[in-house]
């Protein structure tokens, strides 16, 4: 694997608040970008910035992650989150309960031998690292399918992609969407970080995030590749992506409304 970490790079960040969300949900995304950007400007790492951004969006009840995560058909709130770094680390949790900020649990798996934990095991891991159990409200909104995400590059050239979701509305308990599945909802390598949003089953079938990264590796322009990624889906399948390469600014694109913002 090529390793560009350690070289001087220009920091950048891009965040989204989920395909299917309208402009009224933009403020939480703007606040997330601002928080991550401030960390980068003070020399913080891409990981710290990505986590801070995603926590802000998880705490925003308008967005489908953390506090605003969609409640399952059995009335439970089960959340998914994942983090991947350009230096080859991955951590994800799925169907975790009683956890306000699942992204912080996923991030703690980056340095562990086990890189994905589900349900009870994920929650017990959170207990073991001192993340308190909390009753998280969740949302019964019938629309708005999706997920929050951030992709960040720091001054060392490290890229980090992070996503968190309550999944789609009224899914059964135990259902796993694209977010915790490496290469489907999330991918990060030394060339590009990608976070997907939309109907998890469809994104999983297409392995969209890693396939977008493959096209970037072939030398295609990032914006063109995102258009290609969207065009792999019929227009009635809601999907969107944010992406950030090893140079330049981040982009967001969706086949529906999707609040997103970038700095860099």
Give the interface with ligand GLY as residue ranges (CB under 6 A).
146-147, 165, 167-168, 177-179, 197-200
CB of 80 to ligand GLY, least distance (A): 6
Q: Of the two residues 95 and 131, which places its CB atom closer to ligand GLY in the complex? A: 95
- Contact between 122 and 82 under an 8 Å Cβ cutoff? The reply is no
Least Å from the CB of residue 179 to ligand GLY:
5
Min CB(105)–ligand GLY separation in Å: 17
Work out how close the CB of 180 gets to ligand GLY at its nearest, in angstroms, rounded to a whole number: 9
Task: Between 18 and 44, name the residue whose CB sits nearer to ligand GLY.
Answer: 18
| Beta carbons of 251 and 262 less than 8 angstroms apart | yes
Least gap, CB of 156 to ligand GLY (angstroms): 30
Q: Would you say 53 or 246 has its CB closer to ligand GLY?
A: 53
CB of 9 or CB of 147, closer to ligand GLY: 147
Residue closer to ligand GLY by CB (options 146, 154) is 146
């Amino acid at each position: 694997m090529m390793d560009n970490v350690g070289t001087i790079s220009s920091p950048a960040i891009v965040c989204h608040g989920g395909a299917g969300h309208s402009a009224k949900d933009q403020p939480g995304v703007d606040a997330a970008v601002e928080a991550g950007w401030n960390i980068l400007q003070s020399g913080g790492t891409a990981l710290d910035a990505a986590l801070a951004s995603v926590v802000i969006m998880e705490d925003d009840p308008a967005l489908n992650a953390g506090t605003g995560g969609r409640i399952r058909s059995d009335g439970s709130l089960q959340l998914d989150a994942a983090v991947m770094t350009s230096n080859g680390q991955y951590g994800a949790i799925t169907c975790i309960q009683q956890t306000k900020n699942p992204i912080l649990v996923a991030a703690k798996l980056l340095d562990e031998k086990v890189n994905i934990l589900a349900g009870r095991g994920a929650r017990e891991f959170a207990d073991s690292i001192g993340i308190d159990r909390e009753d998280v409200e969740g949302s019964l909104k019938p629309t708005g399918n999706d997920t929050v995400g951030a992709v960040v590059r720091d001054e060392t050239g490290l890229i980090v992609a992070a996503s968190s979701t309550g999944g789609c509305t009224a899914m059964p308990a135990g259902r796993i969407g694209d977010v915790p599945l490496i290469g489907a909802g999330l991918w990060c390598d030394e060339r590009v970080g990608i976070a997907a949003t939309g109907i998890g089953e469809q994104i999983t079938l297409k392995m969209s995030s890693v396939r977008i990264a493959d096209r970037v590796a072939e030398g295609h322009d990032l914006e063109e590749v995102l258009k290609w990624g969207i065009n792999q889906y019929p227009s009635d399948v809601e999907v969107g992506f944010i992406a950030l390469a090893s140079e330049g600014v981040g982009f967001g694109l969706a086949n529906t409304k999707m609040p997103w913002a970038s700095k860099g």
